[in-house]
Amino acid sequence: MALAIYPGSFDPITLGHIDVMNRASHLFDDIIIAVVNNTAKNMTFSVEERVEMVKKATSHLTNVNVESFAGLTVELAKKKGANILIRGLRAVSDFEFEFTMYQMNKQLNSDIDMVFMMAGLEYQFMSSSLVKEIASMGGDVSHTVPPSVEAVLKNHYAKISVTV
Ligand code: ADP
């Protein structure tokens, strides 16, 4: 049985991430979406909020489970009995970072391999940070995130504009 892990910050999940998840769900028997709980990274949303958003956005995928994790992804994979890590690749920008991560992960655990899925054409320039930037200025993000995430973003930035 092929079990794969798709790790990421998902701060928040975008349609680009969901496109990768939809396509990966046809390639693997089961997928664990591992939402990184890393205090060193400055996240906009708490890990609970990010897990909740991913759960809602992937409720149509029956072979996908969502959980949070802290620490090394290769350790999580070992614990879960998964030997594949999925990552998305956008044009050029992701390659160098992902290539380094691949080499590091291989050194840490040579049993675990990584599968890189090309971002869909319409999602090449979509990132969580860009979505947040647009949402923070009151822009329309409906073509970049699912409605449930759009609502969370609206609420988040409405609260901030009240407090400043
Ligand atoms: P991380 O902090 O681990 O990079 P992200 O949530 O930014 O977390 O991204 C998780 C994974 O999803 C990464 O492999 C990233 O390259 C990929 N990804 C991000 N945005 C897109 C997109 N628009 N299309 C396809 N893959 C994407």
Q: Is position 159 annotated as part of the catalytic site? A: no
Per-residue model confidence as pLDDT tens for the chain (164 residues): 799 999 999 999 999 999 999 999 999 999 999 999 987 789 999 999 999 999 999 999 999 999 999 999 999 999 999 999 999 999 888 999 999 999 999 999 999 999 999 999 999 999 999 999 999 999 999 999 999 999 999 999 998 876 65
Determine which residue's CA is closest to atom 27 belonging to ligand 1.
88
CA distance 18 to 21: 5
Token pair 């409906």: residue: 142
Determine which residue's CA is closest to atom 17 belonging to ligand 1.
88
Please pick, among 17, 50, 87, 132, the residue that the annotation labels catalytic.
17
| Residues 6 or more apart whose Cβ sits within 8 Å of residue 71 | none
CA distance 112 to 76: 11
Q: Are strands 113-118 and 84-89 parallel, antiparallel or unpaired?
A: parallel
